[in-house]
């Protein structure tokens, strides 16, 4: 037998069983080895019958004194009853609907029985336990009582830590265990891809031993060691791939941007607020990075409202002071325009250009009234000629006609990572194609550090985990249905006091708002939302259109209410957001289009309808749209759900404003796939490791950092093979 032996050639595998195994993707002996248990039942402790207690899950060893089948009183079910003794006490054992057991077990057979003990009117009994015959050695002439299990015949299904596997219809746990036990010897043929010196350094067992113990652990300690090896393998592969990307980037050459100490000091002294310690640390890490001739590749992660923009502005100032251009890319036109306004305030002397598909903005006034085409042509000339120092836009900056003169720094907002091909595109446009610009990615999505190290192992990480001094925490409350009118009254008082309000709905419009083919209707919000829009004909989710009509006509007819959603034309969205920013709108009803980056300091209330339809990470982004000034702000959560899970989630969310705590909780409750969605594409499925394995994640990252792939060619080949497999999946 070999690793590639088809399962059809194994003992006791016929056509029917082979088809069932194929449904699980099991074709070969290798596939069986990598079909892992999803849980275990610990029946390793063998107890005497007289010691048993009601509810105990255990194993007993005994001899069958009586076994027979009989019909249930209504004669619908066959019951198999047995009496087992361990020499000191007896116990009744019952199986329902398994009459074949009476043919498999006989009076006098010694057995292991593993299951849950029940105490009822019949006394102590086991119902439906796993059973296994004990194959014994013949009695020794000098000791007729000294019978022992045959060597190599240790139990598989009882009296041990028992593996439980994913199954398919018609396949049993016993069948799978016996097949995996059959192929386990060929695990030694597996290539040990982890070099011995690394195995020793991280203290893990060889791969073939890990497979043996993951399927049939001798004890909990051996199981933990096996899991540790398989967890490390998964995490190390991720970190090795990230390190290969990191080293590829580092092989490029960047301009060294000298630290403009006086300019930075003047900038900081001129701010109307004091930088937090976390902001200072992040800024220093970035400024030191761009002093090097290796391209910076850093992720700046901060909670909503933590002040990432001012840190990016310091790096921008440093670059333009040295004569380099800076490109700032945002995911949406709304956010690009907001950055344009923010950077104009932070760097009033800089020559800043806004270029999107919808609008051209310029520090000059002489082209303000020209045609859109002329404004664009003039803007492109300023970029290519080097007159424009800072260029802010969307990914329209990647189009063919956009060229720079001397690009030294690229800031990418809410993309987390800039791919290798995108870097090459930027380099070709930079005006200095022999050098690579420095790259700074920013995100307001709080990501637990352990997950960030796994997801972005190729990036250096800076975290802003403090809020600006004097910022008041947003008060968050779940509003019960009978308190809705009170909430409306509170909102009215806030508007009377000069504040503004966001109202978030899961849908743009529902089937009753507009007759249409709802199966083709698409949600124009963030894809991270826990909302399936393709079929909502009978949905009770609140829609923007219906909510706008209710609020503007019935609840607040005297207030200025407007709405915005992703299906609106860019010009319409821009006009609405401009009015809201200028204070010409009191209440803005929206989908999650306002989730990221929108900055309205005067807004003090975030009202979220259908809160159960959003993940906590997204709710936190919504909440981050308020609380951006000295005014006390509020987040109201509305839900019609009576689910206790929803209640627990919203209760936790209301208890903290710390985005990193929210992210940890969300990650633990829902897992990385649901929380971060496409953000983790290409990671592959983690079967053993979790984001709670912080120590192992750090260890894998530390070992991978700086590894010599010329020395460890097998590691490079393993990563490339793994990447191909993940891509195919």
pLDDT tens, residue by residue, 384-435? 999 999 999 988 888 888 899 999 999 998 765 566 677 778 888 898 888 9
Q: What is the pLDDT of residue 128?
A: 92
Structural domain total, the chain? 4
- Token pair of 173, please? 């746990």
- Token pair of 126, please? 């086991």
Query: Is residue 244 included in any domain, yes or no?
Result: no
- Asked whether the predicted pLDDT for residue 176 surpasses 90, the reply is yes
- Token pair of 23, please? 């449904």
Q: What is the pLDDT of residue 136?
A: 64
Q: Which of 136, 159, 182 is the last residue of a domain?
A: 159
Query: Is residue 708 included in any domain, yes or no?
Result: no
- Asked whether the predicted pLDDT for residue 35 surpasses 90, the reply is yes
Same domain, residue pair 5 and 151? no
Average pLDDT rounded to a whole number, residues 519-548: 47
According to DSSP, residue 271 is labeled -
| Sequence-separated (6 or more) residues with CB below 8 Å from residue 483 | none
Res. 143 pLDDT band, cuts 50 70 90: very low
Least confident stretch, 62-66, 189-193, 416-420: 416-420
Same domain, residue pair 396 and 541? no
Q: Which of 661, 679, 697 is the last residue of a domain?
A: 679
Query: Is residue 584 included in any domain, yes or no?
Result: yes
Query: Is residue 226 included in any domain, yes or no?
Result: no
Q: What is the pLDDT of residue 20?
A: 94
Q: Report the SS3 class of residue 70.
A: strand
- Asked whether the predicted pLDDT for residue 453 surpasses 90, the reply is no
- Asked whether the predicted pLDDT for residue 221 surpasses 60, the reply is yes
Res. 525 pLDDT band, cuts 50 70 90: very low
| Range ranked top by mean pLDDT from 138-142, 229-233, 589-593 | 229-233
Same domain, residue pair 524 and 570? yes
Query: Is residue 396 included in any domain, yes or no?
Result: yes
H or E stretch at 281: helix 277-289
- Asked whether the predicted pLDDT for residue 198 surpasses 70, the reply is yes
Query: Is residue 195 included in any domain, yes or no?
Result: no
Same domain, residue pair 500 and 641? yes
- Asked whether the predicted pLDDT for residue 670 surpasses 70, the reply is no
Residue 174: give its domain's CATH number: 1.10.150
Residue 314: give its domain's CATH number: 3.40.50.300
Q: What is the pLDDT of residue 519?
A: 32
Same domain, residue pair 495 and 438? no
- Asked whether the predicted pLDDT for residue 619 surpasses 50, the reply is yes
Same domain, residue pair 176 and 97? no
Query: Is residue 227 included in any domain, yes or no?
Result: no
- Token pair of 299, please? 């992720």
Same domain, residue pair 426 and 395? yes
Q: What is the pLDDT of residue 518?
A: 32
Res. 257 pLDDT band, cuts 50 70 90: very high
Domain span including residue 424: 261-464
Could you give the percent of the chain with pLDDT greater than 90? 56
Q: What is the pLDDT of residue 118?
A: 92
- Asked whether the predicted pLDDT for residue 568 surpasses 90, the reply is no
Average pLDDT rounded to a whole number, residues 649-655: 95
- Asked whether the predicted pLDDT for residue 681 surpasses 60, the reply is no
Average pLDDT rounded to a whole number, residues 17-44: 93
Q: Which of 403, 433, 464 is the last residue of a domain?
A: 464
Distance of CA 52 to the CA centre of its chain: 44
Same domain, residue pair 360 and 407? yes
Residue 49 CA to residue 16 CA, distance in Å, equals: 40
Same domain, residue pair 457 and 559? no
Least confident stretch, 279-283, 513-517, 688-692: 513-517
- Asked whether the predicted pLDDT for residue 154 surpasses 70, the reply is yes
By C-alpha distance, which of 729, 705, 727, 713 is closest to 239? Answer: 705
Res. 520 pLDDT band, cuts 50 70 90: very low
Same domain, residue pair 140 and 78? yes
Distance of CA 295 to the CA centre of its chain: 28
What is this structure's pTM? 0.70
Q: What is the pLDDT of residue 416?
A: 54
Per residue in 301-316, pLDDT (tens digit) is 988 888 999 999 999 9
Same domain, residue pair 13 and 126? no
Residue 155: give its domain's CATH number: 2.40.50.140
- Asked whether the predicted pLDDT for residue 216 surpasses 70, the reply is yes
H or E stretch at 674: helix 659-676
| Sequence-separated (6 or more) residues with CB below 8 Å from residue 532 | none
Query: Is residue 149 included in any domain, yes or no?
Result: yes
State the CB neighbour count (10 A cutoff) for residue 433: 10
Same domain, residue pair 362 and 482? no
Contact between 122 and 116 under an 8 Å Cβ cutoff? The reply is: no
Res. 368 pLDDT band, cuts 50 70 90: low
Res. 595 pLDDT band, cuts 50 70 90: low
Give the chain's end-to-end CA distance (angstroms, integer): 28
List, in sequence order, every beta strand (DSSP E) within 619-685: 634-638
Res. 540 pLDDT band, cuts 50 70 90: very low
Residue identified by tokens 């270029």 is: 355
- Asked whether the predicted pLDDT for residue 149 surpasses 60, the reply is no
């Amino acid at each position: 037998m070999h690793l590639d032996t088809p399962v059809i050639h194994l003992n006791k595998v016929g056509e029917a069983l082979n088809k069932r195994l194929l449904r699980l993707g099991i074709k070969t002996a290798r596939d069986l080895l990598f079909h892992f248990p999803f849980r275990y039942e610990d029946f390793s402790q063998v107890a005497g019958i007289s010691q048993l207690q009601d509810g105990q899950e255990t194993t007993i060893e005994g001899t069958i004194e009586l076994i027979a089948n009989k019909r249930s009183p209504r004669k619908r079910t066959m019951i198999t009853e047995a009496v087992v003794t361990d020499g000191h006490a007896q116990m009744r054992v019952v199986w329902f609907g398994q009459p074949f057991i009476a043919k498999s077990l006989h009076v006098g057979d010694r057995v292991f029985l593993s299951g849950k003990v029940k105490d009822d009117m019949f006394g102590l009994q086991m119902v439906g336990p796993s059973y296994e015959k004990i194959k014994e050695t013949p009695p020794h002439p000098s000791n007729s009582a000294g019978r022992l299990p045959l060597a190599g015949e240790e139990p598989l299904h009882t009296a041990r830590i028992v593996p439980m596997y994913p199954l398919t219809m018609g396949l049993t746990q016993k069948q799978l265990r016996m097949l995996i036990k059959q192929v386990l010897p060929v695990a030694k043929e597996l290539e040990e891809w982890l070099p011995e010196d690394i195995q020793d350094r991280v203290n893990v067992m060889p791969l073939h031993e890990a497979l043996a113990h993951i399927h049939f652990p001798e004890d909990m300690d051996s199981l933990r060691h096996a899991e540790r090896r398989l967890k490390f393998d998964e995490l190390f592969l991720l970190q090795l791939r990230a390190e290969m990307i990191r080293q590829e980037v580092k092989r490029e050459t960047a301009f060294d941007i000298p630290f403009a100490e006086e300019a930075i000091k003047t900038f900081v002294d001129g701010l109307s607020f004091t930088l937090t310690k976390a902001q200072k640390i992040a800024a220093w890490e970035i400024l030191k990075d761009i002093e090097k001739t290796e391209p910076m590749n850093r992720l700046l992660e901060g909670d909503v409202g933590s002040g990432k923009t001012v840190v990016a502005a310091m790096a921008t100032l440093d670059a333009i002071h040295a004569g380099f251009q800076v490109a700032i890319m945002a995911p949406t036109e709304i956010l690009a325009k907001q950055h344009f306004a923010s950077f104009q305030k932070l760097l009033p002397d800089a020559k800043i250009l806004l270029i999107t598909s919808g609008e051209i903005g310029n520090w000059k006034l002489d082209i303000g009234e020209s045609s859109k085409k002329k404004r664009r042509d003039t803007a492109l000339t300023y970029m290519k000629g080097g007159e424009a120092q800072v260029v802010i836009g969307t990914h329209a900056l990647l189009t063919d006609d956009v060229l720079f003169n001397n690009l030294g720094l690229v800031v990418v907002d809410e993309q987390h990572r800039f791919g290798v091909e995108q870097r090459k595109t930027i380099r070709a446009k930079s005006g200095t194609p022999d050098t690579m610009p420095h790259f700074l990615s920013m995100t307001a999505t709080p990501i637990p550090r352990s997950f960030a190290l796994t997801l972005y192992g190729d990036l250096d990480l800076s975290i802003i985990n403090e809020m600006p001094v004097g910022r008041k925490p947003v008060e968050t409350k779940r509003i019960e249905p009978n308190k809705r009118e009170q909430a409306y009254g509170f909102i009215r008082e806030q508007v009377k006091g000069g504040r503004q309000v966001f109202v978030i709905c899961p849908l743009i419009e529902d089937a009753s708002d507009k007759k249409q083919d709802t199966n083709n209707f698409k949600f124009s919000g963030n894809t991270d939302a826990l909302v399936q829009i393709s079929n909502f004909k009978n949905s009770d989710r609140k829609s923007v259109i219906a909510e706008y009509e209710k609020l503007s006509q019935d609840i607040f007819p005297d207030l200025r209410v407007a709405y915005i959603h992703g299906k609106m034309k860019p010009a319409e969205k821009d006009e609405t957001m401009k009015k809201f920013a200028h204070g010409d709108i009191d209440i803005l009803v929206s989908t999650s289009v306002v989730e990221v980056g929108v900055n309205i300091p005067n807004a003090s209330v975030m009202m979220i309808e259908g809160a159960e339809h959003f993940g906590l990470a997204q709710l936190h982004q919504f909440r981050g749209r308020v609380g951006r000034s000295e005014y006390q702000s509020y987040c109201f959560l509305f839900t019609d759900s009576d689910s206790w899970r929803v209640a627990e989630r919203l209760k936790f969310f209301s208890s903290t404003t710390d985005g990193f705590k929210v992210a940890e909780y969300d990650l633990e409750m829902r897992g990385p796939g649901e929380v971060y969605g496409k953000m983790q594409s290409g990671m592959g499925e983690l079967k053993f490791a979790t984001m709670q394995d912080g120590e192992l994640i750090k260890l894998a990252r530390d070992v991978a950092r700086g590894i010599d792939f010329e020395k460890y060619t097998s590691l490079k080949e393993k990563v490339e093979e793994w990447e191909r497999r993940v891509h195919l999946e």
